[in-house]
Each structure stands twice: as C-alpha cells, then as structure tokens.
Amino acid sequence: MYTICMVAAQEKEQQKAFKLQKSISHVAFIMDGNGRWAQARGLPRHLGHKEACERIIDVLNACMEFEIRVISLYAFSTENWKRPKAEINHLFNYLELFFKRELATLIRDGVRVMVSGDVSRLPLKTQKTIADAIEATKHLTRHVMNICLNYGGQQEIVRATKLIANKVAKGEIKTEDINEETFSQHLYTFHLPPVDLMIRTSGEYRLSNYLLWQNAYAEFIFPKVHWPDFDREALIACLKEFESRNRRFGGLKNE
C-alpha cells in the first residue's frame, strides 16, 4: 500500500512539473459525453451540460499555463437541434450563466471571446450575452476562446464558397486567384492559426462535422474520459501523446 501511494505521489509531482516541449498554438475540443456522465450518476442529462460549463475555465486555465494561445470548443452543432427542446434550452441557459459569471475573469486574463457559427438561430437572450462578451473582449490579445455555436464544418465551407462566388460575380476576385489562403480568409476562423491538436472526450472516434478545414493536419486524440471529468491531468496526458507524434505535414519522417 505504501508503494502504491509513493508511486501516485511521484506521478502527481511529475504532472505538476510537466513542461510542454513542442509549440501548440491551437487546441480544439469536442466536449463529448456530458449526457452520459449525468446518466451514469442517475442525474438528468442537462446537468451534464451544466457540469460541462464548469470545466471550461479549468481547461482554459490549464491551456494558458502551457502557453496555448487559442482553444476552440464545440458547444452546439448544426445537428444538435435534433435533441429534445428542453435539453437545448438548458444548454443555452448554462452558456449564458457561464459568460455572466466568468466574463470578468476572461477580461482579467486577456482572453478574447469569439464565436464560430450562425448564431442568428439562437435564443435572443443567448445572442445578446454572446455579443456582450465579444464586445467586452474584442481588444484582448493574450488568448482566444473560440466557441463553436450552431456550427457545422460542411456548412462553413459552403458559406465560404458562397462568399467567394459573390465576390467573383462582383469582380472583386478573379477565379484564377482563388487558393487555400483565399478560402481560409472566408471562414469563421480566418484570423486563427490552424488546429494543432484536436481532442474529443468520451472515447468516440469521429469529427462530427467539426472544423473540417482547420483540422487538415491536426493530431487527433480521443481520451475515454467524459468532458465533465476532463481536467488538467487529462489534458497533460493528451499533450504528452501529442509530443510523441511526428508531425510530417505530408513530408518524410525525421529520423
């Protein structure tokens, strides 16, 4: 028993002393497993979403500790409208409470809030809360928290295509000048770096229409822990796995 406790203590000290060796600019999270987390505890699904909001600041703080400048959070997809209306309403209420409670902290820590997705379909109260957070943090540059709301990767690509096509029709852009950079400039995330690391909690192995363009060369990690249990230690485990990867970007492996 003593040996087990000693090993656990050593592992804890190693976690505290962890230093990220590879540079990471952008980590994208799919915050999955909230409903299952609640049901496993005999709670209604919506309380899983409540707990999920509690984890956001903890994970953001851990990312700031490791000098990760940008995090993206998949909060609500274009497909999530298929869920029960009561669950959807709870989710937006928790999101509003999160911003009202944490906005001062975000401002203090230099975190700019941005949103990717079509927020026009969201409840008016939610739209206003988000707009207020964006306005209050628009001048901040230390970190970025990108909330993906009513977001779908395919829909974003179609939207960008339409924006470019409209500019071509107006003579603002020539067809032969369209390239990857041009396309990137018409995405919601046009001023953010590409995703370096994509983490989906709960052990599901799919992207679910999330940042399809931005994840082109991201490293994917799928921890089995549900998002409400995802903490600094779980993030460090993912960062260690990231550091073990050889990112070749289509080139040859560095020997």
* 32 is annotated as an active-site residue: yes
Which tokens go with 126?
A: 């939610």
The pLDDT of residue 209 is above 90: yes
In the set 58, 80, 179, 209, the catalytic residue is 80
The pLDDT of residue 165 is above 60: yes
The DSSP element (H or E) to which 135 belongs, if any, is helix 124-137
Neighbours of 189 (CB within 10 A): 22
pTM: 0.90
pLDDT tens digits along 13-66: 555 679 998 899 999 999 999 999 999 999 999 999 999 999 999 999 999 999
* 58 is annotated as an active-site residue: no
pLDDT tens digits along 114-151: 999 999 999 999 999 999 999 999 999 999 999 999 99
Domains by residue range for the chain, with CATH: 24-151+193-244 (3.40.1180.10)
Distance, in Å, from the CA atom of 232 to the CA atom of 47, rounded to the nearest integer, reads 22
Nearest in space to 226 (alpha carbons), one of 35, 45, 71? 35
Report the mean per-residue pLDDT for the chain: 92
Residues near 72 by beta carbon (within 8 Å), at least 6 away in sequence: 26, 27, 28, 29, 116, 146, 147, 148, 189, 192, 195, 211, 214
| Vertex 192 angle, CA 187 and 198, to 5° | 95
Q: Give how far the C-alpha of residue 47 lies from the chain's centroid of Cα atoms, to the nearest Å.
A: 20
Convert 128-154 to b/e letters by CB count within 10 Å (16 or more is b).
Answer: ebbeebbebbeebeebbbbbbbbbbbe
| Vertex 230 angle, CA 214 and 107, to 5° | 70
For residue 87, name the pLDDT band (cuts at 50, 70, 90): very high
Distance, in Å, from the CA atom of 228 to the CA atom of 201, rounded to the nearest integer, reads 9
What confidence score (pLDDT) does residue 22 get? 87
What confidence score (pLDDT) does residue 13 get? 55
The pLDDT of residue 217 is above 60: yes
